[in-house]
Amino acid sequence: MRMRDEENVGGADRRQRRAIAYTRCSTPAQGESGIGLDLQIAGIREFATVAGYDVVGAYSDVASARHHDNLLKRPSLLSALQAAEQQKAVLIVYDWSRLTRYEADMEKITALLPASRILAVDDGENLARASKAGQLARAEKLGDEIVKRTKEGMARKKAQGVQYGNPNILVTQPAGVAAAQAHARSVREAVADVLEDLSSLDNDITNKALADELNARGILTGQHKRFDARKAAYVRNDAEDVLANRRARPPALPTLPAPAAVEEGWQKPPNWGRF
């Protein structure tokens, strides 16, 4: 968690156009590198400048937005909402997923700060807030409905005598797990090879560019699909660990030549080994 206070700009009209920035990344590695957070804040600042807002405070969290009721695990979000309310400012995020993925959590957020005072860079300033709330509600409802219908359908099939699963699961599952693990290792090694070719251990290539390079080389994901930026980011951390371990490994000793073959019938001279 980190917070940066920006210089306040005086003037009544300017105070009405104040903004608080909020950024979030999911993993400690992203938080320590600052890449995810820094790219977000850069986009927010550019958006604020064009839209005529002064960014008077910036807050960030390193925490996932998944699972319901995770707001208490993101103290900087709560601080950002309070600061925006106290300073009569808007809250600007890079995209709506930085806030939450659930309608119920969005309702709690907008109880602290009206939705009309929350802006997202990727949506644009004038997009109706009701549209985004409706999308969140629809996505969550659709996911719940799919799970419900799947469970009901399986229950009906079981009542009809349908057997789910593999009766030889105790034999086939370990072999399948081992094969999947071996394939995942090979994907990590392949991605590490690409990063090494591109000299990108220091994150100087975007996930989108990495995905394009992997697809160009015909490298597929663990599910045998083409890469996109999200899938590239998912495997990238493991691949960078592989590459870092390679670079930390001591160089291999040279291989000594094999001893010459002894000709058949050869015998030691009489004084062999005495001098």
Contacts of 36 (CB under 8 A, 6+ apart): 23, 25, 30
Distance CA 180, CA 186 (A): 10
> Which helix (H) or strand (E) is 4 found in, with range?
strand 2-5
State both tokens at 56. 């008077």
The residues spanned by each domain of the chain are: 2-130, 184-243
Half-sphere exposure at residue 104, Cβ-oriented, CA atoms within 13 angstroms: 8
Q: At the top level of CATH, which class does the domain 2-130 belong to?
A: alpha beta
Q: What is the pLDDT of residue 62?
A: 85
Q: What is the pLDDT of residue 171?
A: 57
Distance CA 40, CA 34 (A): 10
Q: What is the pLDDT of residue 88?
A: 92
pLDDT tens, N- to C-terminus, the chain (275 residues)? 444 444 343 333 444 489 999 998 877 665 555 557 888 888 888 888 887 889 999 999 887 766 666 677 788 999 999 999 999 999 999 888 888 877 788 888 899 999 889 988 876 545 444 344 444 555 566 667 677 778 888 888 778 877 766 666 555 566 656 777 788 888 888 888 888 887 755 556 788 888 898 999 898 888 888 999 888 888 888 888 887 887 777 766 666 666 665 556 666 666 665 55
State both tokens at 51. 């839209």
Q: How many CB atoms lie within 10 A of CB 129?
A: 18
Contacts of 242 (CB under 8 A, 6+ apart): 188, 189, 191, 192
Q: CA 230, 233, 234, 238: dihedral to nearest 10 degrees?
A: 170
Taking alpha carbons only, the member of 260, 207, 19 closest to residue 118 is 19
Q: What is the pLDDT of residue 270?
A: 67
